Chains A and B, each alone.
Chain A
Amino acid sequence: MDEFKLFISGETAKTDKIFSALEFCLTAVFGDAYSLQKIDVIKNPLMAQADGVMATPTLVRMNPPMKRVLGDFSDMTKILESLNIHMPLNKDASAKE
């Protein structure tokens, strides 16, 4: 099962939106066979340290080889492609926020 962690700084409408879009896209790719965890580094700074996360927002694919992506999450397709995850073609259009 693919495991993902989304590290954010504080729960805001924007981070909620990112999480929802991510959830939508991962479901489109993996169905139910994935886990996604949202970690607020303000509340859980030690979890960020444990996973070596240096910035937020960062999405980490925990399965080896562990890979992380950070920056602009407005285009989730691009974010996932950076993790070598490709959206099914008919879902691409709806993946954009």
Chain B
Amino acid sequence: MKNEKKRILLLIGIMGIVTLTISLLVFLMLYQTAFNEQEKRLTETVQSQARMMEALMEHETLSHKGDTKIRAAAVIEQVIEGHYRYKALSKTFEFTLARQEGDQIVFLLNHGPREQIAQKPVPFDSNLAEPMRRALSGKSGTLTGLDYQGAVVLAAHEPVAGLNLGLVAKIDLSEIRAPFVKAGMVATGIGMVLIFLGAWLFIKVSEPILVQLQEQLVQMETLVTSLQGSENQVRQIIQNNADAIVVTVDGIIRFANPAAERIFGRAVSDLVGKDFGFPVLEKQSVDIHILHPAGQQVTVTMRAASTEWEKNPAHLISLHDITQRLKMAEKQKKLEQQLVQAQKMESVGRLAGGVAHDYNNALTAIMGFTELAMMDAEPKGPLHDDLNQVLKAGRRAQDITRQLLAFARKQTIAPVTLNLNPTVETMIKMLRRLIGEDIDLVWLPGENLWNVKIDPSQIDQILANLCVNARDAIKGVGKITIETHTVVFDEAYCDDHAGFIPGEFVLLAVSDNGCGMDKKILNQIFEPFFTTKAVDRGTGLGLSTVYGIVKQNNGFINVYSEPGKGTTIKIYLSRHTGKAVERPAESMEEIPRGHEETILVVEDDHSILKLTEKILSSLGYTVLTADTPEKAVTLTRENTDPIHLILTDVIMPEMNGLELSKQIKLQFPDLKCLFMSGYTANAIAHHGVLDEGVHFIQKPFSKKDLAVMIRQVLDES
């Protein structure tokens, strides 16, 4: 408000100055006009008087001959007389008549408003009576200067020819100015009053308007600030939005936010002006692919809304990148499929493992007693042949249960640190026999291969199963390649490849150029009893066994197959940093016999107990038997002779084999232990891996298997 008052005062000041200036100019113009009028009147007066005096002189000359001086005096007298008959025209108007006498100006007539006093002569060369001096000098005209009294006057001067006189009509400048000064002062006063009054009225009238305008201005400023804030917010939201936002007019991009650069793979400057196309949406959104100039694609969810851009109908389009989400969903789907597959395999495995125990007990008895019966039968008789057939069938059944247990990961194993190259090398000869002459077997061992920890017999099982499958996939001639490599998978690779696990691995791959498989078959190949082979050619347990073995050793498998082109099965086994051991050659020795050692056999299955007793007795051992752990304990207490070895089932109703062996060891500290089972239990093994120092024989076993194992345990220091 203070500023406003100052402004108003300044306005009043300016208006005052302007008014004064205009008034002054007007008065100056009027004064100039009045001055000119006076000048004209004075000039006319002196000129008419001069001409009249000249005319009188001429008349006197014509009428009265005689002295010129007398005639001149008569004319002058007439003129003076004539003048005094009339009053002066104004307060300061004066008509003077003078002549030069020597160096003096002598005034003959001073006709003005003042009382007539004989004017003293004025020296011709003084600064006074300038108009008269000019008139006496013969000059005609007007001037502003000092009169004979020293007053500033406007004067007209005229010489009178023939009389040697000068005529001057003058008026004081102050008289000419007086009305203008007075009018100016009045006008200025009125003007100033009017200005102040007007300003006061203006302030009074305009103050509420000004206040209102002020308020409106404040409101406008607030609104503008608020709009600017909103605009900034909207701009920020658009600029920082992770989604691409573009505005198109007739399909041409007119605006794009920074996120559009990433989604389109182009700079904003490159995007603007490009023809994106007219967006059509049936629902709220649609998934489309954005093509980058470099070739890659981004999948986005597009939304569009009608809008205006520079007064043209336009589309506001948002593009939300869902590429990663789709990848994750795809990965998730694969993982779910794998989980379902794993659960299916697990349940089948549990079922297989569950029946294996009882089944193996039965098989042990069948095969054992068949072997014993064969010993009693005539070697070349029909009974011996029949029993031999029974034994062969038993061995086939034994293979099946072994594969089932391998798949169920209940196969008992003794892993060692080994290098796959020499392990595979020892198998190559056997594998060549297995696949036949028409198929070329190529062995490509990888250099500087890392060690793995696995039961060597499991490598044999894997290779045999995979090579048999590869052989069966090849019709006629073909090629099977076995190769090993070291591979490292990092987190990023595993993120993009479902089923892979980060870490360092040794790869064992078996490839063939056979018939290959379609996706439907691929999904089922690890299921037990799934086979595409003829009924008499496969059990459907080969790849299930491989699957079980790999899982038991914490590895993983990948299968690549294309119908008509071939199959590659890649097995990844974790790197092990331990030192590799040499694989012992298979023992070809004869059945070892006992040296009258005493063996306590504990087995709740009577048929096996009886069989084992018979086998061991025939091998030259003294055999004590018990069908429960309790009976075994009682027997050892009653028996004073030393017991060298206890051969016990692992799983029994009252007490497991391990606990029993520990109890008996209290009485016979040097007692050796050998466990037998259809499958291993946690008592002696963890996840099928034997505890260190534990000896174990898998049911069903042959007489030779048992004899070798018993001898090995007894001979161990």
Listed in ascending order, the chain A residues whose CB lies under 8 Å from chain B are 9, 41-42, 45, 48-49, 52-58, 60, 66-75, 78-79, 82-83
Q: What A residues does B302 contact at CB under 8 A?
A: 71
Q: Interface range on chain B: under 10, 10 to 19, 20 to 34, or 35 or more? A: 20 to 34
Contact pattern, B 270-292, Cβ under 8 Å of A = 1, otherwise 0 = 00001111111111001011110
B278 touches A68 (CB 8 A): yes
Nearest chain A residue, comparing its CB with the CB of B293: A49
When the two chains form their complex, are residues A67 and B278 in contact, meaning their CB atoms are under 8 A apart? Answer: yes
> B278's contact among A9, A54, A70, by CB below 8 Å, is which?
A70
Are B291 and A55 in contact (CB-based, < 8 A)? yes
Assess whether A54 is in contact with B295, with CB atoms less than 8 Å apart: no
Whether A67 touches B251, Cβ cut-off 8 Å, given contacts A41-B291, A55-B290, is yes
Interface contact B293-A70, CB-CB below 8 Å: no
With both beta carbons as reference points, the residue of chain B lying nearest to A68 in the complex is identified as B277
Shortest Cβ distance from B276 into A: residue: A54
For B253, the closest partner residue in chain A by CB is: A54
- Which residue of the partner chain B has the closest CB to A83? B278
Decide if B280 touches A56 in the complex (CB within 8 Å): no
Q: Is the interface of A mostly helix, strand, loop or mixed?
A: mixed
Query: Cα distance A60–B348 when bound, in Å?
Result: 56
State the B residues within 8 Å of A (CB).
251, 264, 274-283, 286, 288-291, 293, 295, 297, 302, 304
Contact A71 to B291, CB < 8 A, known contacts A52-B274, A54-B276: no
Question: In the complex, how many angstroms separate the beta carbon of B265 from the nearest chain A beta carbon?
Answer: 10
Residues on A with beta carbons closer than 8 Å to the beta carbon of B282: 72, 74-75, 78
B280 / chain A contacts, CB cutoff of 8 Å: 69-73, 75, 78-79, 82
Q: Say whether, besides A78-B280, A78-B282, A70 and B275 are in contact (CB < 8 Å).
A: no
**Between-chain CB contacts (< 8 Å), 12 pairs:** A41-B291, A41-B297, A42-B297, A52-B275, A54-B276, A54-B291, A55-B276, A67-B251, A69-B278, A70-B278, A71-B302, A82-B278
Residues from chain B with Cβ under 8 Å of A74 in the complex: 282
Q: How far, in angstroms, from A83 to B250 measured CA to CA in the complex?
A: 11
User: CA of A49 to CA of B293 in the docked complex: distance in angstroms?
Assistant: 7
**Chain B nearest CB, measured from A11 CB (Å):** 14
Q: Indicate whether A55 sits within 8 Å of B289 (C-beta atoms), given known contacts A45-B295, A68-B251, A71-B302.
A: yes
Q: In the complex, A54→B404 CA distance in Å?
A: 56
CB distance from B1 to the nearest CB of A (A): 61
Contacts of B277 in A (CB 8 A): 54-55, 58, 60, 68-70
Chain A residue at minimal CB-CB distance from B282: A72
**What residues on A are CB-neighbors of B274 within 8 Å?**
52, 54
Contacts of B275 in A (CB 8 A): 52, 54, 66, 68
Contact B289 A9 (CB under 8 A): yes
From B279, B283, B291, contact of A48 by CB (8 A): B291
Inter-chain CA distance A67–B278, complex, in Å, is 8
A58: chain B residues at CB < 8 Å are 277
Distance in Å: Cβ of B705 to nearest Cβ of chain A: 58
- Which residues from B are CB-within-8-Å of A68? 251, 275, 277-278
Measured between beta carbons, the chain A residues less than 8 angstroms from B304 are 71
- Known contacts A45-B295, A54-B274, A54-B276; is-contact A71 B281 (Cβ 8 Å): yes
Query: Nearest CB to that of B294 among chain A residues?
Result: A45
Q: Which residues of A contact B288 (CB under 8 A)?
A: 55-57, 70-71
Taking CB as reference atom, which chain B residue is nearest A48? B291
B326 → A minimal CB distance (Å): 13
- Residues of A within 8 Å of B291, CB to CB, are 9, 41, 45, 48, 53-56
C-alpha gap A84/B17 in the complex (Å): 73
- Minimal Cβ-Cβ distance residue in B for A82: B278
The residue that A72 contacts in the complex, of B283, B289, B290, B297, with Cβ under 8 A, is B283
* A96 CB → nearest B CB, Å: 10
A sample of 15 more A-B contacts (CB under 8 A), given A9-B289, A70-B288, is A53-B291, A55-B276, A55-B277, A57-B288, A60-B277, A66-B275, A68-B275, A69-B277, A70-B278, A70-B280, A71-B304, A72-B281, A72-B283, A73-B280, A75-B282
Q: How far is the CB of A72 from chain B (nearest CB, A)?
A: 4
Shortest Cβ distance from residue A82 to the other chain B in the assembled complex, whole angstroms: 5
CA distance A74 to B254 in the complex (A): 27
**Whole-angstrom distance between the Cβ of B246 and the nearest chain A Cβ:** 10
B33 to chain A, nearest CB (A): 79
* Distance A28 CA – B405 CA, assembled complex (angstroms): 66
- Tell me the minimal C-beta distance from A68 to chain B in angstroms: 4
Which residues of B lie under 8 Å from residue A79 when comparing CB positions?
Answer: 280
Residues of B within 8 A of A55 (CB): 276-277, 288-291
Given known pairs A41-B291, A56-B288, the reply for A70 and B279 (CB within 8 Å) is yes
Contact partner of A9 (CB less than 8 A), chosen from B276, B279, B281, B297, is: B297
Shortest Cβ gap from B290 to chain A (Å): 5
Residue in B280, B281, B297 whose Cβ sees the most chain A Cβ within 10 Å: B280
B276 and A71: CB pair below 8 A?
no
Determine how close the nearest CB of chain B comes to the CB of A61; give it in whole angstroms.
11
Whose C-beta in chain A lies nearest to the C-beta of B288?
A55
Q: Give the chain B neighbours of A57 by CB distance below 8 A.
A: 288
CB-defined contacts of A82 to chain B, threshold 8 Å: 278, 280
Q: Considering the chains assembled together, what is the distance between the CA atoms of A64 and B302 in angstroms?
A: 27
The interface residues of chain B lying within 8 Å CB-to-CB of A60 are 277
Report the Cα distance A69→B276, complex, angstroms.
8
Report chain B residues within 8 Å CB of A75.
Answer: 280, 282
Residue of B nearest to A45 (CB): B295
CA distance A49 to B290 in the complex (A): 12
Residues of A within 8 A of B279 (CB): 69-71
Cα A49 to Cα B291 with chains together (Å): 9
From residue A25, how far is it (CB to closest CB) to chain B in Å?
14
Instruction: Point out the residues of chain A lying under 8 angstroms from B283, CB to CB.
Output: 72
Question: Considering the chains assembled together, what is the distance between the CA atoms of A69 and B290 in angstroms?
Answer: 14
Q: Which residues of B contact A41 (CB under 8 A)?
A: 289, 291, 297
- B275 smallest CB distance to A (angstroms): 6
